[in-house]
Amino acid sequence: MNIGLQQKPADHLVVFDFETTGLSPDMGDRAIEIGAVLIENGKITDRFQQVMDPGIRIPLFIENLTGITNAMVKAARKNDAVMSDFYEFIAGHNLVAHNASFDERFLRAEFRRIKKYFSGGIVCSLLAARRIYQAAPNHQLATLASYKNLPGEGIYHRALADAEVTAHLWLSMLDELQVRHGQQFPTFDFMFKLTRTPKHQLLKLYQKNTDKELD
């Protein structure tokens, strides 16, 4: 990962979400919608949303789950064109997604098709929430939205709506870190480390980062 991006503030990044034809690009599944939210200095400043045509049929289950139909994607631009635009949208930024391993697989698979490579970092807001909101009933996005009373339309399985809720969740977690754990200016690298830190070692991570801020 780009060293400069590692040290970028955690409140300056892009939150993104895909809707897809299935669970795995390795099995031939493709993205059918991308939604993303740009956060700058802790504020949502821009959005990106496009339905796209992968050139394959959407299973009925996915149509019912997302509301994205085969007719909708046939009327949309091809994946290559949309992903080229999205590559420009995220240039110079780190990324966040909820259950990021899923979205990262599709991001990299779609970029490979257009010979692009994303060199920034990707952090999982679900893993972060497991450490920051340990008392939540579970760490699904809808549950956390209700648990923290986050802004949103209550529409799930559409890319921009999910990205918006995830963005508010991310900002809520940064606020929690500041208020309850003394983390005033966490970097993206700190948040990445947090998602990899066992719960019983979090206090040590917080103290180490506080000491670094005071140096």
Residues 65, 213: Cα–Cα separation, whole Å: 45
| Token pair for 73 | 């994607």
Exposure letters 160-194 (e unless 16+ CB within 10 A, then b): bbbbbbbbbbbbbbbeebeeebebeebbbbbbbeb
Based on the residue annotation, tell me whether 157 is a catalytic residue of this protein. Answer: yes
Given the residues 157, 168, 181, 200, select the one marked as catalytic: 157
- 66, with CB counted inside 10 A (0-12, 13-18, 19+), is buried
Check: CB of residue 129 under 8 Å from CB of residue 136.
yes
Amino acid letter at 144? L
What is the total residue count of the chain? 215
**Terminal Cα-to-Cα distance of the chain (whole angstroms):** 25
Catalytic residues: 157
